[in-house]
Structure 1
Amino acid sequence: MSVLFTFPGQGAQRPGMLHRLPAAPSVRETLDHAAEVLGRSSDSLDDETSLQSTEAVQLCLLIAGVAAARLLATMGTLPGMVCGLSVGAFPAAVIAGVLDFTDALRLVALRGRLMEQAYPHGYGMTAIEGLMPPTLEPLLAELRADGLPVYLANINSDTQLVIAGSEEAMAIAAERARERGARRSRRLCVAVPSHCALLDAPAETFARAFEDLPLTRPRITYLSGNLARPLLRPDDIAADLARNMARPVLWLDSMRAAWERGARLAVEMPPGSSLTRLAQSSFDGTAIAVDGNRVDSVVAAVVAANSR
């Protein structure tokens, strides 16, 4: 039996998320390490004002994911696989032993800045529920033909898709999606149009940061959330991390791939529990989030899953 650790992406953030991490030495060490590398404490990253910045949001998600996974490791709870959604791929790579945490902090800070500089306002992401890609994609293509930038960005589940683009384009797309049977649409707390061609140029710039960066082979299975398959070679993982901001997220396929490879419990690192809800169908309901549960309860769930 294998346990999958999942790491959320932008949109899962919430004020005070780093302060709500469990009080434990390994968590404190992770926060102190991050503060030393970044030259700023967690107090200046996770308040409501700071989280208006894409850079701060992505750093908080990296730090929270690594801190929680390290805490579970101190309690003997280790994953057999890791998978991260969007920026969640970076803490996944750290826990898989591919990427040094110091390097990850510097890379994610750069990633956030590049994305924010490319689209400082007027763009973002919207969840569409109740349509399948064959229905939604032609609608988006029609809007692009009319000069409205909007793309399919995430296939999160059988019932949830995410689009990325300008505010105007997303609003029109959401209205037309509802006309074609979508149950509802919801603007996500994401200030940039991730996982589509709009970020090709920042992704190209970001890829240069990996040219002389030492990555190692994963100690545990690293599952790409954009390719929905395991990656073994450091160069392949570097390319996955470098360009995932501009590639669609195939989360549904990734969870199915994890199940097919033997994962039977999905454990979501903080913040939030959105990935736990998305994993329910693929994992027959066997998914749990660190947020909202006692750490010893999470450990007990892993032990129980491994004993089956």
Structure 2
Amino acid sequence: MRAFVFPGQGSQKVGMGAELAAASAAAREVFGEVDEALSQHMSTLMREGPEDELLKTANGQPAIMANAMATLRVLERDFGVRLAEHGACVAGHSLGEYTALCAVGAFGLADTARLLRLRGQAMQEAVPIGEGAMAALLGADMDKAAALAAAAAQGEVCEVANDNDPSQVVISGHRSAIERAVELAKEHGIKRALLLPVSAPFHCSLMAPAADVMAQALETTPPGTLTLPVYANVTAARVTDPEEERELLIKQVTGQVRWRESVAQMHADGAEEFVELGAKVLAPMIGRTVKEAASRSLVTMADLEAFAKEIV
């Protein structure tokens, strides 16, 4: 059993998708459709930058999705590897859950781009720049991270945002609380804590205004039928019902990304191979979570060709 997975925020970089676009009409079609949906030359921004614009969450979220979907389209059209035939389930990290849903037909490509543009804008506007922060805790498990967050909060928001793998947890909240957590980390037995270069405190209760925005958006653009099940971030459980998934996408804005648990559950349900599309971010996390499973990232045309030769 094979799971296809899709990366989240932080995986964008200038030059992303350029090789695929140069080599494949399928990739160019994806980038063109996203450009049209957003009334923006997103493909140019992805290819040429500037980096500070690409890193903005309102740009980064649809860009990451577009790159992953272009990778999938090339895999399917140019190399004959169809998701529905060669995969058993999908999942995505944070915004990657929208990409996963697009990949299994629950959202159209243009709608996914517009939803992620709105999601990025709403998340950025939920907290004034400079008032929120996130930090990665390396060498931390969930118990240590939760204890640290509780100690650092001191009446402010300091919450676990991402449970990425057995050795990496991310916290999110008010900047002063997150900075206290960084200072207190070693006292809590955590090897290292570092502030992340993000523009907002994602996946914590401070994002409630953004959740309200997405609730309205998903009311008018709800997910449709899924051709494969998705494992949802906030429950780490298999979902096939579009209405259930719509509710979970709303909760995801403020909720914890339970990635480690999602990977473990997919593996427990039979996934023996995990294939990441568009970046090399999730595969290393997966390798640390389920060491007996195979994990790989498909980014370049050579990656896609080699994968296709193995399974077709």
Same fold (TM over 0.5): yes
Provide the aligned C-alpha RMSD in A. 1.9
- Residue 73 (structure 1) aligns with: 76
Equivalence for 2:230: 222
How far, CA to CA, are the matches of 1:247 and 1:21 in structure 2? 34
Partner of 1:298: 307
Aligned counterpart, 1:49:
52
Aligned to 1:277: 284
Seen in structure 2, the aligned counterparts of structure 1 residues 283 and 81 have a Cα distance that, compared at 3 Å, is farther
From 134, 148, 152, give the equivalent of 1:143: 152
Q: What is the distance in 2 between the residues matched to 1:265 and 1:283?
A: 11
- In 2, Cα distance between equivalents of 1:278 and 1:215: 28
User: What letter is aligned with 2:80?
Assistant: G
Return the alpha-carbon distance in structure 1 between the equivalents of residues 291 and 102 of structure 2: 24
Partner of 2:4: 5
CA contact (8 A) 2:106 2:226 kept: yes
Q: What secondary structure sits across from 1:185 in the alignment?
A: strand
2:134 maps to what in 1?
125
Change (3 A) 1:20 1:226: farther
More helix by share: 2
Task: Label 1:291 to 1:185 Cα distance change in 2 as closer, same or farther (>3 A).
Answer: farther
The residue type paired with residue 112 of structure 2 is A
Q: Residues 195-214 of structure 1: matches in 2 within 5 Å?
A: 195-214=203-222
Task: Measure the CA separation in 2 of the matches of 1:243 and 1:300.
Answer: 40
TM norm structure 2: 0.90
Identify the residue that residue 64 of structure 1 maps to in structure 2: 67
For structure 2, list consecutive stretches of 5 or more residues without a partner in the other structure.
none
Partner of 2:14: 15
Q: Answer yes or no: is the 8 Å Cα contact 2:137–2:145 preserved in 1.
A: no
Match of 1:190 among 182, 194, 198: 198
Quick check: 1:6–1:268 contact (8 Å CA) kept in 2? Answer: yes
Shift of 1:93: 0.2
Where 1:211 maps in the other structure, the secondary structure is helix
* Amino acid across the alignment from 1:299: A
Conservation of the 8 A alpha-carbon contact between 2:6 and 2:276? yes
Equivalence for 1:235? 243
- 1:26 and 2:26 equivalent? yes
Amino acid at match of 1:28: R
- Gaps of at least 5 residues in structure 1 are none
What is the alpha-carbon distance in structure 1 between the residues aligned to residue 17 and residue 174 of structure 2?
30
Q: CA deviation at 1:127?
A: 1.0
Deviation at 1:215, TM superposition (A): 2.8
Q: Which runs of 4+ in 1 moved over 6 A?
A: none
